[in-house]
Amino acid sequence: MEAVVLAGGLGTRLRSVVKDIPKCMAPIAGEPFLSYVLEWLGRYHISRVILSVGYLKDDVISWVSSRSFPFEVDYAVEEEPLGTGGAIKYALSKCRERKVVVVNGDTFFPLDLDAMPFDAPLTVALKPMKDFDRYGAVEVSQDGSITAFREKAPVSEGLINGGVYATNGLDLSPFPDKFSFEKDVLEPFCASGKVRGWITDRYFLDIGIPDDYALAQNQLPQYRAVKAFSAKILDADADTLLLDRDGTINVRIVGDYVRNPRQLEFLPGILEEMPLWAQKFRHIIVVTNQRGVGKGIMTDADLAEVHKYLLVCVQAAGGRIDAILTCTSVSDDDPRRKPNPGMYHEARMLFPDIKKAVMAGDSHYDRDFALNAGIPFILL
């Protein structure tokens, strides 16, 4: 499989925060956005990546030349803007394989390319989303064919084009050198039933506007950290995984507590990893201090609603949590409050078949909990 990355964007809407560089080179925590895209592609069996470049192409080529990747890199250089369709057509003409994944260079939608179907000339990866007006909604029939690409409008819940395309022998030779992929290919092909949709609820981020670019500064490094964290978890010699909650599964609210399901925000990429953990471990148990209940800031019922929502989301993503143990005490002397090992002993009582456990979390409380329980620790 080969990949085409559309890396020639001007970044017009980002000019207020990022100037004089291609959009794909916009710095994220000190690294170009493109580095996160290429790192994702490097996890799969991709032999070659074609970078479609144009605007300030030397910046892209110079950076790529200074790095090493697990695939060959080539370029499709636009001497003049060709439109999205022209850029894809030209890049595909340089590909050697029938199967090519085409990726927008200003969005990060790291779906599982091993699972993406290549059984049609053109398949569009679709992302479920709520409360959006920045993207046009996509409609899909029961057989998986895309039936409509709607204009941008406020939508409470729907599917959007995630900017990742699986192509298998897609022939764009009848089209001119300059054209729009969206208007001249997607919409007419859709009308004739030639475009498939593939729905996947992976992490998604588009850096096209300043607000989302600012969001990327925290979220993309977090996503990378979660991937490294998960790799260590999957390498652990254990049959049981103990997990912290705040800062490990969901975003920690500094100076406050997650008091209701609306405030529960999962760490970027964490839900993608949980199905892998479910396959590896016999038991997955959350052990969490929730002092907000003991302080009277929230109730046991509030906490139960948060955990009910958490379990629904994890299960919907294909993961599993077998038990959630909480300590709501305000006393550091409570034997169940981390770093004291009471919840570990409770877990062993609940699941007597535990042989080897590992603790994974983000704080020194989790580390010391593991130390006091006599089990290994993995730090996020």
239 is catalytic: no
Residue 55's alpha-carbon distances to 10, 18, 47, 58, 106, in angstroms, are 6, 14, 26, 9, 14
3-state DSSP call for residue 280?
A: helix
Residue 10 pLDDT: 67
Residue 304's alpha-carbon distances to 242, 259, 324, in angstroms, are 19, 10, 10
Give 197-213 pLDDT, tens digit per residue.
Answer: 999 999 999 998 889 99
Structural domains for the chain = 2-206 (3.90.550.10), 236-379 (3.40.50.1000)
Average confidence (pLDDT) over 26-41:
95
Give 44-59 pLDDT, tens digit per residue.
Answer: 999 999 999 988 899 9
User: pLDDT band for position 364 (50/70/90)?
Assistant: very high
User: pLDDT band for position 218 (50/70/90)?
Assistant: very high
Residue in 101, 104, 69, 56 with CA at minimum distance from that of residue 198: 101
Tokens of 165: 């395309």
Give 130-162 pLDDT, tens digit per residue.
Answer: 999 989 999 999 989 999 999 899 999 999 999
Residue whose entry in the numeric block shows the structure tokens 């010699």: 237
- Among 106, 184, 206, 244, the one annotated catalytic: 244
User: pLDDT band for position 16 (50/70/90)?
Assistant: low
Peptide bond connecting 335 to the previous residue in cis, omega within 30 degrees of 0: no
Distance from C-alpha of 248 to C-alpha of 349, rounded to nearest angstrom: 24
The alpha carbon dihedral of 155, 318, 352, 243 has a sign of negative
Residue 200 pLDDT: 94
Distance from C-alpha of 44 to C-alpha of 117, rounded to nearest angstrom: 14
The alpha carbon dihedral of 272, 274, 279, 281 has a sign of positive
User: pLDDT band for position 193 (50/70/90)?
Assistant: confident
Give 260-293 pLDDT, tens digit per residue.
Answer: 999 999 999 999 999 999 999 999 999 999 999 9
User: pLDDT band for position 192 (50/70/90)?
Assistant: confident
Residue 19 pLDDT: 73
Continuous segment of H or E residues that includes residue 197: strand 196-199
Distance from C-alpha of 138 to C-alpha of 162, rounded to nearest angstrom: 10
For 322-332, b/e burial (b = at least 16 CB within 10 A) is: bebbbbbbeee
Give 308-348 pLDDT, tens digit per residue.
Answer: 999 999 999 999 999 999 999 999 999 999 999 999 999 99
User: pLDDT band for position 15 (50/70/90)?
Assistant: low
Continuous segment of H or E residues that includes residue 365: helix 364-373
User: pLDDT band for position 8 (50/70/90)?
Assistant: confident
Report CA dihedral (86, 92, 98, 103) to the nearest 10 degrees.
-80
Tokens of 127: 């992302």
- Among 206, 246, 302, 366, the one annotated catalytic: 246
Residue 191 pLDDT: 84
Distance from C-alpha of 167 to C-alpha of 10, rounded to nearest angstrom: 25
Average confidence (pLDDT) over 291-309:
97
- Taking all residues of the chain, what is their mean pLDDT, rounded to a whole number? 94
Percentage of the chain exceeding pLDDT 70: 98
The alpha carbon dihedral of 334, 338, 343, 348 has a sign of negative
Backbone phi and psi for residue 278, each to the nearest 5 degrees, phi listed first: -65, -35
246 is catalytic: yes
- Amino acid of residue 73: V
Tokens of 291: 């002092």
3-state DSSP call for residue 165?
A: strand
Average confidence (pLDDT) over 73-81:
94
Q: How far is CA 339 from the centre of its chain?
A: 31
For 100-128, b/e burial (b = at least 16 CB within 10 A) is: bbbbbbbbbbbbebeebebebbbbbbbbe
Percentage of the chain exceeding pLDDT 90: 88
